[in-house]
Amino acid sequence: MLKRIFLPSIIIILGYGFWLSPDFQTICAGVAIFLFGMLSLDSGFRIFTGGVLEKLLAATTDRLWKSIGFGVVTTSLMQSSSLVTVISISFLSAGLIGLSQGIGIIFGANIGTTTGAWLIAGVGLKVNISVYAMPMLVFGALFVYQRSKPIKGVGYILAGMGFLFLGIHFMKEGFDAFRGNIDLTLYALPGIKGLLVYTLLGAAATVIMQSSHATLVITITALSSGQLEYTNALALAIGANVGTTVTAILGALGANIQGKRLAGAHLVFNVITGAVALILIAPLQHMVDQTALLLDIADDNFTLKLSLFHTLFNVGGVLIMLPFITRLETMLIKLLPEEASTNELLLKNASGVSAITDTPAPQPEVRRARHLAPASLIYPDTALHVLIKEVNDLADRVLAVITYGLYCNFDAVKSDQPIESIMTVSDKKLFSENIDDLYKTEIKGVYSDIIEFAAKSQPQMSPAQNRLVFELKTACRNAVEALKDIKHLRKNLHRSMFSDDTRVIEQYERLRHDLVKLIREITLIRNRPDKGSLLSVDRARVHLEKADVAGSGELDQLIRQGAIPGSVVTSLMNDFHYAHAVGQKLITMVELLQGASSTGDSAIDSELTLDASEISEVIEEIGQRDDKPDLSSKDKGIQDAR
């Protein structure tokens, strides 16, 4: 309801102000141009990604002082602490940085935002910066229309700087002209009342414009034109710092719990430093006066003194909070605990009770993606990072469901227990869950989230990143199709496992053994993102081909020898076909995922492929291994026939 009222109200107020005063219109136009310049800067900096940000983060945030320095430099370049905060929330949500590193960046961003005040007060108000804005806008527009992304990025940055300068010029001109008609100093408020009211005004202005920098620019230009009292201007600067936390909170709404913790840290830091600045306003003013004398700043140069005050209270706030970073992190973790998340399947048997605790099981909710926060869409690097994590999680869950479909426990398969003992089924009720139901509750929701997130992230990605996203989606598709094949295979598998015909049981046990062994191999491969892992992939592929009794003609030989009854020949042929298809799709899935996790640019690194001699070695090694289960003596004849 408030959203519907807010925009029309602002339009009516602005329209009435434009009708009353053309000078007010000039000031508002300056603010609008300034904000548009910040958007252009943001667009320009986003182009220079594609892995650069992730590498920069790794090199510049491994220590607290480096994190603070990163915040200072990036905020000075982007001229927006709010933007740096939102980006940091995105990085934290993607797992690229830790909470303490994010807090360090927030501290640095508050110091970095003071550089803008110095530039405006020291240069922007003393020279006609619109002269510099014009060529920036011209060259910026020229570069923006080029196809080269780096040139386009430079164009956005030049245009952004030009709009920033032009906006400051219009605001200054508007306040200078405004002074001849209306004296805003008549509305000045002294004492504590003035501090509180103007602090709230500064916070409100920052919330509306979503930029503390814009609030500071308006404050400095109004102060330079004599339209604002110095003490009230100090309160506006404090309010601007507090108001910028709202942007962080809004940015954290689409983030995971880590992003929300960082927004909480930003809120705590800015509110505490703002409160300290208000309480110690008199000592701070005295410190500003004394420091101004040392820096040879004139006593009546209130714009530079405001910039100095802004710097002192932000740096002072960081110094006050630095010793408490660990406590702040602990408090945020306690207040905002991470939701328990696991890849374990919520299973219940046919009678509706838990397969684990044998108690009534609640109706399982549809599982959703846990890494794909909307905040991670801000930059392609973070989007790709969380997408890889989510697809790997989905792969693990698919393997768990497939293992369940083979009447085995996934944790046991991942262990070093003998496969024969893992395949022993003591109670079929433990595996009575319908595979279709498991797909709907455990897989389908996450799969759809991945596809939707990938579609939203791809437009801003580079061609190499888009290829990688396509391969990740292909890996998902192979995993899901393998699961659907298991669903078809399980019907006959269930019937055969509990039949009285030992010849049928023997063949299906062989089929189960081959697939369970393959799944174990895949889980081992997924923990080795190196050349050895891809060697194992080819080993698994060769093993799969040797296990294909239908394709190799071995099944025909078993039929001729009467080793399997004719009544189940067609079903067995179909089921071995399903098993072979499952194996192929799982191997393709793990191959794509290993390439994605290890290279980051392409699904499979050309340097990691195997040559013919290595393949021959693998085939020879497999030929020397006895990978079959220990069957009864009756099966020795079948083994010999093979």
Which has more pLDDT, 159 or 30?
159
Give me the helices (H) in 253-324, please: 257-279, 281-294, 302-321
In a domain, 360, yes or no: no
Per-residue confidence (pLDDT) for residue 61, from 0 to 100: 73
Supply the DSSP symbol for 426: S
Residue 606 pLDDT class (50, 70, 90 cuts): very low
Please name the residues in contact with 165: beta carbons below 8 A apart, sequence gap of 6 or more.
Answer: 37, 124, 129, 130, 132, 133, 136
CB count within 10 Å of CB 529 equals: 17
pLDDT in tens, 556-579: 666 666 666 666 667 777 777 788
In a domain, 40, yes or no: yes
Per-residue confidence (pLDDT) for residue 349, from 0 to 100: 43
Residues 382, 302 share a domain: no
pLDDT in tens, 342-352: 556 655 443 44
Per-residue confidence (pLDDT) for residue 128, from 0 to 100: 65
**CA pair distance 8, 51, nearest whole angstrom:** 42
* Residue type for position 511: L
**CA pair distance 456, 104, nearest whole angstrom:** 30
Residues 614, 537 share a domain: yes
User: Is the dihedral angle over the CA atoms 457, 458, 463, 464 positive or is it negative?
Assistant: positive
Residues 573, 429 share a domain: yes
Residues 413, 300 share a domain: no
In a domain, 9, yes or no: no
Per-residue confidence (pLDDT) for residue 541, from 0 to 100: 64
DSSP class per residue in 558-586 = HHHTT-S-GGGHHHHHHHHHHHHHHHHHH
**CA pair distance 454, 603, nearest whole angstrom:** 16
DSSP class per residue in 199-215 = HHHHHHHHHHHT-HHHH
In a domain, 17, yes or no: no
Per-residue confidence (pLDDT) for residue 16, from 0 to 100: 76
User: Of 335, 352, 383, which one is at a domain's C-terminal end?
Assistant: 335
**CA pair distance 183, 190, nearest whole angstrom:** 16
Residue 450 pLDDT class (50, 70, 90 cuts): very high
Residues 382, 296 share a domain: no
- The gap between the terminal CA atoms of the chain, to the nearest Å, is 75
pLDDT at 488 over 90: no
Q: Are 31 and 167 in contact, with CB atoms under 8 Å apart?
A: yes
Supply the DSSP symbol for 61: S
Residue 540 CA neighbour count, 13 Å, CB half? 29
Please, what is the average pLDDT of the chain? 75
In a domain, 343, yes or no: no
Average pLDDT over residues 459-484: 88
Q: How far is CA 279 from the centre of its chain?
A: 39
According to the per-residue pLDDT averaged within each range, which of 151-155, 235-239, 367-371, 489-493 is highest?
A: 235-239
Strand partners, 353: 360
Per-residue confidence (pLDDT) for residue 449, from 0 to 100: 92
pLDDT in tens, 161-204: 888 778 777 776 776 665 555 555 666 778 888 889 999 988 88
Which uninterrupted H or E stretch holds 95?
Answer: none
3-class DSSP assignment, residue 346: coil
Instruction: Assign 3-state DSSP to the chain and report helix, strand, coil percentages, each to 5.
Output: 75, 0, 25
Q: How far is CA 639 from the centre of its chain?
A: 52
Cα-only R_g, the chain = 33
Per-residue confidence (pLDDT) for residue 36, from 0 to 100: 81
User: Of 319, 335, 351, which one is at a domain's C-terminal end?
Assistant: 335
In a domain, 94, yes or no: yes
**CA pair distance 162, 177, nearest whole angstrom:** 23
| Helix axes 302-321 and 281-294, enclosed angle (nearest 10) | 120
Residues 392, 322 share a domain: no
Per-residue confidence (pLDDT) for residue 126, from 0 to 100: 56
Per-residue confidence (pLDDT) for residue 565, from 0 to 100: 64
3-class DSSP assignment, residue 433: coil
User: Pseudo-torsion of CA 196, 199, 204, 207, nearest 10°?
Assistant: -140
Instruction: Using a pLDDT cut of 70, give the percent of the chain over it.
Output: 72
87-101, 149-163, 434-448, 612-626, range with the lowest pLDDT:
612-626
3-class DSSP assignment, residue 348: strand
Which has more pLDDT, 348 or 27?
27
In a domain, 183, yes or no: yes
Residues 319, 267 share a domain: yes
Q: Are 605 and 595 in contact, with CB atoms under 8 Å apart?
A: yes
Give me the helices (H) in 280-432, please: 281-294, 302-321, 325-335, 380-405, 410-414, 419-422
CATH number assigned to the domain comprising residue 634: 1.20.58
Residues 294, 383 share a domain: no
Residue 44 CA neighbour count, 13 Å, CB half? 26
According to the per-residue pLDDT averaged within each range, which of 313-327, 332-346, 527-541 is highest?
A: 313-327
pLDDT in tens, 541-559: 666 665 555 555 566 666 6
DSSP class per residue in 251-267 = HHTTS-HHHHHHHHHHH
pLDDT in tens, 393-446: 999 999 999 988 888 888 888 888 888 888 877 566 667 778 888 888 889 999
Which has more pLDDT, 249 or 452?
452
Please name the residues in contact with 415: beta carbons below 8 A apart, sequence gap of 6 or more.
Answer: none
Angle ∠(29,184,305) on CA atoms, nearest 5: 85
Residue 228 pLDDT class (50, 70, 90 cuts): confident
Please name the residues in contact with 524: beta carbons below 8 A apart, sequence gap of 6 or more.
Answer: 536
Q: Are 536 and 528 in contact, with CB atoms under 8 Å apart?
A: yes
Per-residue confidence (pLDDT) for residue 58, from 0 to 100: 64
Residues 398, 473 share a domain: yes
pLDDT in tens, 36-84: 877 787 677 666 654 555 566 667 777 788 888 888 888 877 767 767 7
Residues 314, 383 share a domain: no
Q: Domain range spanning residue 185? A: 26-335
Per-residue confidence (pLDDT) for residue 157, from 0 to 100: 81
Using a 10 angstrom Cβ sphere, with 0-12 exposed, 13-18 middle and 19 or more buried, the burial of residue 130 is middle
Per-residue confidence (pLDDT) for residue 340, from 0 to 100: 54
For tokens 């510099």, name the residue: 132
User: Of 309, 335, 361, which one is at a domain's C-terminal end?
Assistant: 335
In a domain, 160, yes or no: yes
According to the per-residue pLDDT averaged within each range, which of 18-32, 335-349, 355-369, 598-612 is highest?
A: 18-32
**CA pair distance 43, 36, nearest whole angstrom:** 11
Residues 327, 378 share a domain: no
3-class DSSP assignment, residue 17: helix
Tokens of 442: 């455990």
Q: How far is CA 148 from the centre of its chain?
A: 27
Residues 392, 265 share a domain: no
* Domain count within the chain: 2
* Residue type for position 452: E
Per-residue confidence (pLDDT) for residue 615, from 0 to 100: 35
Instruction: Report how far apart, in Å, the C-alpha atoms of 428 and of each of 86, 350, 401, 412 are.
Output: 51, 10, 16, 17
Q: How far is CA 322 from the centre of its chain?
A: 27
CB count within 10 Å of CB 638 equals: 20
